[in-house]
Every structure is written in structure tokens, then in C-alpha cells.
């Protein structure tokens, strides 16, 4: 088979890494790819949102399966376009991708489906939003209604912070048209986790749960990022909670989408908060998470191509999906200044030393290759993933590998996986 992956980040590197291991993969392309992808895929200089050119390329090369990484092309209709041309593609069409493209659509659909969520109001007028926030008080959550690359959500500790978030969205237009409307939500307390499933419009097959770190600094301080690290599985997600999320949140959503004439095909990613009253839906994403993919796919035993193809062709129920028992921890190495302004073009060294442990996988996110040398070319530069029999082992391996990698102004959090190790140790001491 000829396979095309669309995107350029660590998620796409992880997808290509796993797809390249399939016995069904004869030729692999990635558009546009990044500096680290050249060893496993042919990179193609087409932007992810240039849907027409991507369709032309897929038709010309007779691509058998296209897999889309980022949300933007999904929201703007790449799957509709490819299917209209008779091309097989994994992902939701534009009407289904509204689950990520519009926070108001998701909240309203979840309410119709009876999904446990949170109280919310939608505003297309800044002053109305401000009045509501002053009445409700803080803490409170303000979200740009549209897609904002994971950065359009503000958990406001004070009313002033919430009002500022409204202004950033609706007055300063920080997120462009995505901030034409804002959704103001009830603040919920509890640990968060990510539950993702493969879906073919009817059948859902769960992936292993994962937990990422959105804040830039240790201790979950500072502004939100696209994700600074991740681990899988999640000790606090018991089998009971996992079943509850699938049956009370994901299943009703998929059924409601089908009932309303927009069946969901692709990866459905539920961001869930575990409150004292039980799991509640925070948001949906319509694609593989980043960096969650970098800990989920290394734990997948099954052939990923078989799973994606079955989902794209509506026969997911015929595929058996199995997972490895090992724990996985991913630490993101970022450019200093991220998620604000940062410099690029810094040479990266230490790959050979970092890879000496066979349990280490280094996923490139924002890199450029020049000859045999690699340079930074983004905010999140690398994702260093380690596998281990325990969280402690996986975490130690990941940070040992990170210790070998160097580039000017490199930054990473030092507490990724810490709470999983603590939970593991508490469970071990409790069983003695």
C-alpha cells in the first residue's frame, strides 16, 4: 500500500513511525513532514491546509490511505474533498469535525445526548459575556468557540482574568475568526485525562488512556501550551472509570452524531475531568492528540494500518486491537520562550547518545535537517518517549535521554510522570 500522512509535528512522526512498521506499508509519504521524518517517509512540500494540492498528489501517486494529523484540515473539509475524489482517508468529515471546530456545537450536542458535562453559555457579544462573568464570579472558564491550536482556553482564577480572556478573543482578535464567539463554562475540579477511540461511525474501539501536561512550567504553572509531556496508562483511570467514560460520554456522543446525520469516523478524543460526582466531558478533539500519540502508539501491539483502514471503510468491528503492558512517558524539549516568541535555527546535538537505550524513541516535532545536522524549527522541538515495566523506570529512561540532548535555550519540564510514579509507589506499598 501507498500511505500519506498529513502534518509536520511530533504526532505525525509517531504516526509515520508506527505505520512504517506495518507489513501493508510499501511506500510512505508525509506532507510536509519535518527534519526527522526523512529516514522513514518521503517528505512532500505541501501544506496541511492546501487540500486541493494534497488531493492532486494523492490521486497522482495513487495513494491507498491518507491519515490526517492536525485539526485544521479536518475542520475545513479535507476528508469531504478526498472522498469526493474516490480517495480513502481516515478522519471525520467537516460536519463531524465541528466537535472540535466549535465549542458551542459540542456543548449543545452533548446536552442533547445526555452526556455529563458542565453548565455553559455562548456569547457573540463581548459586553454580554462580561456581564455574565461578573454575575457568575470566578473561577470560571473562557474558551474561544473555534479552533485555536489548543491555546484558546483560559481557566480564570479571577473575574479580571476572565474579562481579559474575553477581550483577547473578541476585541484583540488573538485567535481570529475562532474568537467571534466565546463559550463561558462552569469551572470543574479534579484530575484530567484523555480517552481516545478509533471510530467508523458506529463501532468504537478504545485506545489506552493517557494524561498530558498543558502548562509550560513545573507544578502546572504558567500559560497553556500544546502539551509539554505525557504518560500512559493513567493510574487514576480505573477500569470502572474507563468503562463509565466510554458508555456515558463517548458512546452517547457517537450515537447522537449518527442520529443527526453526521456519523463520526476517525479518532475521537475526549478530554475528561474526574470530579467527585463522576467523569465529566471537558472537550472533544477530532484527531490524534499531541503529545498523547507519542505515548499511545508505542504501546499499540496491533498493526496500525489495519486498524485505520478498517475504520475508514466501516468495518472496525472486524479488527482485534491489542496493547502492550509497558508504561510510556514522553518529555517535550521546547525552544526557550515557548509558548510565546522563540528563536529557531539552533543546532541540536546528542541524538546518538540519547538513542543508546533501545527503549527510547525520539519523535521530531519542530526540526529541520541540513545535511547530517538537525536544527530547531518550532516551539516544541522534540518528544522523547521511553517505555518501561514501571512508570519509575520509563520516567528515569526518558530523563536520562533528555540529558544527552542539547540546543541553545532548550527548555523542558522536570516533573513529567511524577504523579504516576507516586501513584505506582503508593499502590505498591499498600499491597505489601
Cα torsion angle, 199, 227, 382, 78, sign:
positive
- The pLDDT tens digits for 153-177 are 888 999 999 999 999 999 999 888 8
Same domain, 199 and 297: yes
Rounded to whole angstroms, the Cα distance separating 61 from 195 reads: 35
Instruction: Answer yes or no: is pLDDT of 150 > 70.
Output: no
Calculate the alpha carbon distances from 151 to 71, 143, 178, 339 in Å.
Answer: 13, 9, 11, 9
Query: Mapping DSSP to helix (H, G, I), strand (E, B) and coil, where does residue 388 land?
Result: strand
With a CB cutoff of 8 Å and minimum separation 6, the contacts of 340 are 223
Looking at the domain assignment, is residue 104 inside a domain?
no
* Structural domain ending residue among the three candidates 180, 209, 224: 180
If 0-12 CB within 10 Å is exposed, 13-18 middle and 19+ buried, where does residue 34 land?
Answer: buried
Q: Which three cell numbers stand for residue 212?
A: 498530558
Read off the C-alpha cell for 289: 492528540
H or E stretch including 361? strand 360-364
Q: Residue holding cell 529541520?
A: 368
pTM across the whole model: 0.93
Which tens digits make up the pLDDT trace of 314-348?
999 999 999 999 999 999 999 999 999 999 999 99
Same-domain pairing of 204 and 282: yes
pLDDT band at 152 (very low <50, low <70, confident <90, very high): confident
Q: Give the contacts of 420 (CB within 8 A, at least 6 positions apart).
A: 211, 231, 234, 235, 327, 329, 391, 395
pLDDT for the residue numbered 45: 97
Q: Has residue 431 got a pLDDT over 80?
A: no
Residue 44 CB neighbours (<10 A): 17
Collapsing DSSP to helix, strand or coil, 32 comes out as strand
State mean pLDDT over 44-51: 97
Retrieve residue 154's grid coordinates.
483560559
Q: Are 109 and 65 in contact (CB under 8 A)?
A: no
Element (H, E) at 426: helix 418-430
Residue 56 and residue 141 in one domain = no
| Rounded percentage of the chain residues whose pLDDT exceeds 90 | 91
Which of 90, 112, 133 lies at the terminal end of a domain, its last residue? 90
Across the chain, mean pLDDT equals: 95
Among 274, 299, 318, give the residue marking a domain's end: 318
Number of domain units in the chain: 4
Give, in order, the Cα–Cα distances in Å from 264 to each of 22, 29, 269, 279. 25, 25, 12, 22
Q: What is the pLDDT of residue 151?
A: 66
Residue 116 lies in a domain: no
In a domain, 288, yes or no: yes
Residues 159 and 204 in one domain: no
DSSP state of 181: S
Dist CA 379 CA 250 (whole Å)? 32
- Does 370 have pLDDT greater than 80? yes
Cβ–Cβ under 8 Å, residues 230 and 343? no
Q: Which residues, including other chains, have CB under 8 Å from residue 422's CB and lie 6 or more apart?
A: none
The residues, any chain, with a CB within 8 Å of residue 153's CB and separated by 6 or more, are 141, 142, 143, 144, 224, 283
* Residue 411, helix vs strand vs coil: strand
Tell me the three cell numbers of residue 153.
482556553
**∠ CA(153), CA(363), CA(411), 5° rounding?**
60
Domain that holds residue 305: 189-318
pLDDT tens-digit profile of 203-220? Answer: 999 999 999 999 999 999
Residue 432 has pLDDT above 60, yes or no: no
- The CATH number assigned to the domain holding 233 equals 3.30.470.20
What CATH number did the domain enclosing 75 receive? Answer: 3.40.50.20
CATH code, 416 = 3.90.600.10
Amino acid at each position: 500500500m501507498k500511505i500519506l500522512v498529513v502534518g509536520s509535528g511530533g504526532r505525525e512522526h509517531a504516526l509515520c513511525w508506527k505505520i512504517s512498521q506495518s507489513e501493508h506499508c510499501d511506500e510512505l509519504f508525509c506532507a510536509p513532514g519535518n527534519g526527522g521524518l526523512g529516514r522513514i517517509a518521503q517528505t512532500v512540500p505541501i501544506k496541511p491546509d492546501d487540500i486541493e494540492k494534497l488531493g492532486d498528489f494523492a490521486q497522482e501517486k495513487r495513494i491507498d490511505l491518507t491519515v490526517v494529523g492536525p485539526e485544521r484540515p479536518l475542520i475545513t473539509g479535507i476528508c469531504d474533498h478526498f472522498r469526493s475524489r474516490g480517495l480513502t482517508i481516515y478522519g471525520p468529515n467537516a460536519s463531524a469535525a465541528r466537535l472540535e471546530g466549535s465549542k458551542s456545537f459540542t456543548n449543545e450536542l452533548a446536552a442533547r445526548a445526555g452526556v455529563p458535562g458542565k453548565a455553559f453559555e455562548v456569547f457573540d457579544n463581548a459586553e454580554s459575556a462580561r456581564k455574565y462573568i461578573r454575575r457568575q464570579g470566578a473561577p470560571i472558564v473562557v474558551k474561544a468557540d473555534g479552533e485555536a491550536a489548543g491555546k484558546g482556553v483560559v481557566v480564570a482564577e479571577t473575574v479580571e482574568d476572565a474579562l481579559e480572556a474575553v477581550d483577547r478573543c473578541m476585541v484583540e482578535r488573538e485567535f481570529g475568526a475562532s474568537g467571534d464567539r466565546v463559550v463561558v463554562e462552569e469551572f470543574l475540579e479534579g484530575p484530567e485525562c484523555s480517552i481516545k477511540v478509533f471510530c467508523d461511525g458506529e463501532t468504537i474501539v478504545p485506545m489506552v488512556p493517557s494524561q498530558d501536561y498543558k502548562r509550560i512550567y513545573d507544578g502546572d504553572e504558567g500559560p497553556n501550551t500544546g502539551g509539554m509531556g505525557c504518560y500512559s496508562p493513567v493510574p487514576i483511570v480505573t477500569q470502572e472509570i474507563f468503562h463509565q467514560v466510554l458508555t456515558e460520554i463517548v458512546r452517547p456522543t457517537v450515537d447522537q452524531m449518527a442520529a443527526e446525520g453526521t456519523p463520526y469516523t476517525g479518532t475521537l478524543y475526549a478530554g475528561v475531568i474526574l470530579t467527585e460526582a463522576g467523569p465529566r466531558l471537558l472537550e472533544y478533539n477530532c484527531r490524534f492528540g499531541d503529545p498523547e500519540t507519542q505515548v499511545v502508539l508505542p504501546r499499540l501491539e496491533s498493526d496500525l494500518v489495519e486498524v485505520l483502514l478498517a475504520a475508514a471503510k466501516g468495518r472496525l468491528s472486524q479488527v482485534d486491537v491489542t496493547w502492550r503492558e509497558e508504561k510510556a512517558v514522553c518529555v517535550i524539549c521546547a525552544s526557550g520562550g515557548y509558548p510565546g516568541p522563540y528563536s529557531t535555527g539552533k543546532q541540536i546535538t546528542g541524538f546518538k547518545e540519547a538513542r543508546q537505550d533501545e527503549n527510547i524513541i525520539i519523535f521530531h516535532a519542530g526540526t529541520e535537517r541540513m545535511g547530517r545536522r538537525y536544527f530547531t524549527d518550532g516551539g516544541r522541538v522534540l518528544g522523547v518517549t521511553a517505555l518501561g515495566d514501571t512508570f519509575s523506570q520509563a520516567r528515569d529512561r526518558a530523563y536520562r535521554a533528555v540529558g544527552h540532548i542539547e540546543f541553545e535555550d532548550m527548555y523542558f519540564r522536570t516533573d513529567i510522570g511524577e504523579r504516576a510514579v507516586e501513584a505506582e509507589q503508593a499502590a505498591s506499598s499498600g499491597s505489601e
